[in-house]
């Protein structure tokens, strides 16, 4: 809302400054401005505060951290800049200033524009994706370096590698790093290293310089060579404030060549310290295990005895058991004897009451013996009578008077001559043995034969 001077409204300073800010931001579009940097302050927050001046005037500028990090360099006192931003007013102090969106060194607008365009195009093609970044090997077998043989960066890299891990071989892929055609040669050196695949990691580096000096690392051919490399690539181009397209494509960016060498190489001192720590841990673990095993061995040794000793112990236990058994037997016999003596004592105490039953038993025994003798005599007389009767009826008794019993072949007694056939063999049973005879019938019929 604009202030109407025809009215008698009174406004605050804050309201005035807010209205002025709205007028400036709404009336002046973002534009490019050139001038010289002065009164520069780089705050701990990462923001940059400075004045941009020329021969006739100056204006306060602020560039916030997230914008400054994308500029690719840091402003310095006296530096000629071309910056683009929004004209505004800082309401708290009423300071008229520019909020800077981007900046470039004066005279290099074309290069920065080309830089931003290439950066945007490669980002759309996925060359900057973090998912495509490869991890660096923890213990590379060989390290490749793409740089100029005469560059101070090469000496810094080699010095650092020798200090940290001198056992790792370094292979140089020499190439110019600035001047006409340098970008194509840097790209060719990267592709050569990738084709040979004789190193585990590749450092692409050069020392500091102006944006023109570093421009070979902002070319698209170098970016694609890094992206196509089968070997992880670490860039160390310029100083910490220098940022190139190669840095965005590389798997890791180091602020300097020395830092790149530190990134790709293990520190032998640190490894030695880790090894010593591991050795101490292993020694303590082995010592503890040895102690435990020794104690266990002593325990087993106490349980283990010689066979002869075990036999002696068994014999001793057998003797003890035998003695205990004998003692228990004697004690058992003594207890039984005591019980028997007690029973005898009780029996003797009851003996006077047994006299009458004993006499009765004696009388019963005598009566029983008499009855048995009488019964036996009766049975003997009856047996003699039966024996006499049996003897009278025994046919063998008749034989003793000269008679004989005639039996046929099956042992049946013959009663009549008709039961025998002429010529049949018969047995004659006599009082004293027997004999055989053959039957001969006399003339006439068998029925007429006399006995």
Q: What is the mean pLDDT of the chain?
A: 85
E-strand stretches of 190-327: 201-206, 233-237, 252-253
Looking at the fold, whether 259 and 148 belong to one and the same domain comes out as yes
Per-residue model confidence (pLDDT) at position 139:
92
- Domain membership of residue 310 as a residue range: 305-346
Give the residue from 47, 79, 107 where a domain finishes. Answer: 107
Of 71-75, 129-133, 151-155, 353-357, the least confident = 353-357
Confidence category of residue 262, pLDDT binned at 50, 70, 90 = very high
Looking at the fold, whether 92 and 134 belong to one and the same domain comes out as no
Parallel, antiparallel, or unpaired: how do β-strands 252-253 and 201-206 relate? unpaired
Give me 169's structure tokens.
Answer: 């071989």
Per-residue model confidence (pLDDT) at position 4:
57
At 150-174, the pLDDT tens digits run 888 999 999 999 999 999 999 999 9
Per-residue model confidence (pLDDT) at position 348:
73
Looking at the fold, whether 141 and 225 belong to one and the same domain comes out as yes
The answer to whether residue 56 is domain-embedded is: yes
Average pLDDT over residues 180-205: 95
Give the CATH number for residue 90.
2.40.50.140
The answer to whether residue 101 is domain-embedded is: yes
Per-residue model confidence (pLDDT) at position 89:
86
Looking at the fold, whether 262 and 132 belong to one and the same domain comes out as yes
> Can you tell me the distance from the alpha carbon of 437 to that of 427, in angstroms, rounded to the nearest whole number?
6
- For residues 53 and 210, which has the higher predicted lDDT (pLDDT)? 53
Of 60-64, 109-113, 191-195, 335-339, the least confident = 109-113
Confidence category of residue 109, pLDDT binned at 50, 70, 90 = low
Task: Give yes or no for residue 447 having a pLDDT over 60.
Answer: no
The answer to whether residue 385 is domain-embedded is: no
The answer to whether residue 381 is domain-embedded is: no
Looking at the fold, whether 314 and 252 belong to one and the same domain comes out as no
At 337-388, the pLDDT tens digits run 888 888 888 877 665 566 677 788 888 888 888 888 888 888 888 888 887 7
Backbone angles phi, psi at 433, to 5 degrees: 105, -165
Q: With pLDDT > 70 as the criterion, what percentage of the chain qualifies?
A: 92
> Can you tell me the distance from the alpha carbon of 253 to that of 236, in angstroms, rounded to the nearest whole number?
6
Task: Give yes or no for residue 261 having a pLDDT over 60.
Answer: yes
Task: Give yes or no for residue 176 having a pLDDT over 50.
Answer: yes
At 401-444, the pLDDT tens digits run 777 888 888 878 888 887 888 888 888 888 777 888 888 877 65
Looking at the fold, whether 197 and 133 belong to one and the same domain comes out as yes
Give the CATH number for residue 198.
3.40.50.261
Looking at the fold, whether 132 and 195 belong to one and the same domain comes out as yes
Three-class SS of 31-77: EEEEEEEEEEEECCCCCEEEEEECCCCEEEEEECHHHHCCCCCCCCC
Looking at the fold, whether 137 and 245 belong to one and the same domain comes out as yes
Per-residue model confidence (pLDDT) at position 328:
86
Task: Give yes or no for residue 449 having a pLDDT over 50.
Answer: no
Give the residue from 236, 266, 296 where a domain finishes. Answer: 266
The answer to whether residue 86 is domain-embedded is: yes
Q: Helix 109-124 crosses helix 220-228 at what angle (to 10 degrees)?
A: 30
Terminal Cα distance for the chain, rounded: 188
Give the residue from 107, 132, 166 where a domain finishes. Answer: 107
At 310-351, the pLDDT tens digits run 788 888 888 888 888 888 888 888 888 888 888 888 877 665
The answer to whether residue 294 is domain-embedded is: no
> Can you tell me the distance from the alpha carbon of 173 to that of 332, in angstroms, rounded to the nearest whole number?
108
Looking at the fold, whether 130 and 257 belong to one and the same domain comes out as yes
Backbone angles phi, psi at 325, to 5 degrees: -65, -45
Q: Supply the DSSP symbol for 129.
A: -
The answer to whether residue 286 is domain-embedded is: no
| Cα angle 206, 208, 212; round to 5 | 95
Confidence category of residue 451, pLDDT binned at 50, 70, 90 = very low
At which residue do the structure tokens 């916030």 appear?
A: 64
Longest CA–CA separation in the chain, Å:
206
The answer to whether residue 420 is domain-embedded is: yes
Task: Give yes or no for residue 181 having a pLDDT over 70.
Answer: yes
Model confidence pTM above 0.75: no
Looking at the fold, whether 40 and 91 belong to one and the same domain comes out as yes
Of 32-36, 72-76, 263-267, the least confident = 72-76
Looking at the fold, whether 65 and 159 belong to one and the same domain comes out as no
Per-residue model confidence (pLDDT) at position 342:
86
Per-residue model confidence (pLDDT) at position 108:
59
Query: Number of structural domains, the chain?
Result: 4
Looking at the fold, whether 312 and 418 belong to one and the same domain comes out as no
Sign of CA dihedral 136, 139, 142, 145: positive
Identify the bridge partners of residue 430 per DSSP, sorted by sequence position: 433
């Amino acid at each position: 809302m604009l202030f109407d001077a025809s009215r008698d409204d009174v406004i605050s300073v804050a309201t005035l400054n807010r209205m002025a800010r709205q007028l400036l931001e709404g009336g002046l579009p973002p534009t490019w401005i050139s001038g010289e940097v002065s009164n520069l302050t780089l705050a701990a927050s990462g923001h940059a505060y400075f004045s941009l001046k020329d021969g006739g005037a100056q204006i306060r500028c602020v560039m916030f951290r997230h914008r400054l990090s994308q500029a690719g360099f840091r402003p310095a006192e006296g530096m000629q800049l071309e910056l683009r931003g929004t004209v505004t007013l800082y309401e708290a102090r009423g300071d008229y200033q520019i909020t800077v969106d981007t900046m470039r060194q004066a005279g290099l607008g074309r290069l920065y524009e080309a830089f931003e365009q290439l950066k945007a195009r490669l980002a759309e093609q996925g060359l900057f994706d973090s998912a495509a970044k490869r991890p660096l090997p923890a213990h590379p077998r060989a390290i490749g370096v793409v740089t100029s043989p005469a560059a101070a960066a090469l000496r810094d890299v080699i010095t650092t590698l020798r200090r940290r891990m001198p056992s790792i071989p370094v292979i140089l892929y020499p190439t110019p790093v600035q001047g006409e055609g340098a970008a194509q040669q840097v790209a060719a050196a990267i592709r050569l290293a990738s084709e040979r695949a004789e190193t585990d990691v590749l450092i692409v580096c050069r020392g500091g310089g102006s944006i023109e000096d570093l421009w070979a690392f902002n070319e698209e051919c170098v970016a694609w060579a890094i992206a196509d490399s089968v070997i992880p690539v670490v860039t160390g181009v310029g100083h910490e404030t220098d940022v190139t397209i190669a840095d965005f494509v590389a798997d890791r960016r180091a602020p300097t060549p020395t830092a790149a060498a530190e990134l790709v190489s293990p520190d032998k001192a640190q490894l030695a310290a880790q090894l010593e720590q591991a050795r101490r841990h292993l020694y303590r673990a082995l010592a503890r295990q040895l102690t435990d095993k020794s104690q266990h061995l002593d325990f087993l040794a106490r349980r283990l005895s010689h066979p002869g000793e075990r036999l002696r112990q068994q014999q001793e236990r057998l003797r003890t058991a035998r003695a205990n058994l004998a003692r228990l037997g004697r004690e058992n016999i003594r207890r039984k004897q005591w019980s028997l003596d007690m029973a005898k004592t009780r029996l003797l105490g009851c003996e006077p009451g047994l006299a009458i039953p004993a006499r009765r038993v004696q009388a019963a025994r005598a009566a029983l013996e008499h009855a048995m003798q009488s019964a036996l005599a009766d049975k003997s007389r009856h047996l003699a009578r039966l024996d006499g009767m049996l003897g009278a009826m025994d046919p063998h008794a008749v034989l003793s008077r000269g008679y004989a019993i005639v039996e046929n072949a099956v042992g049946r007694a013959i009663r009549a001559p008709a039961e025998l056939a002429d010529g049949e063999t018969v047995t004659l049973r006599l009082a004293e043995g027997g004999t055989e005879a053959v039957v001969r019938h006399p003339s006439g019929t068998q029925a007429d034969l006399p006995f």
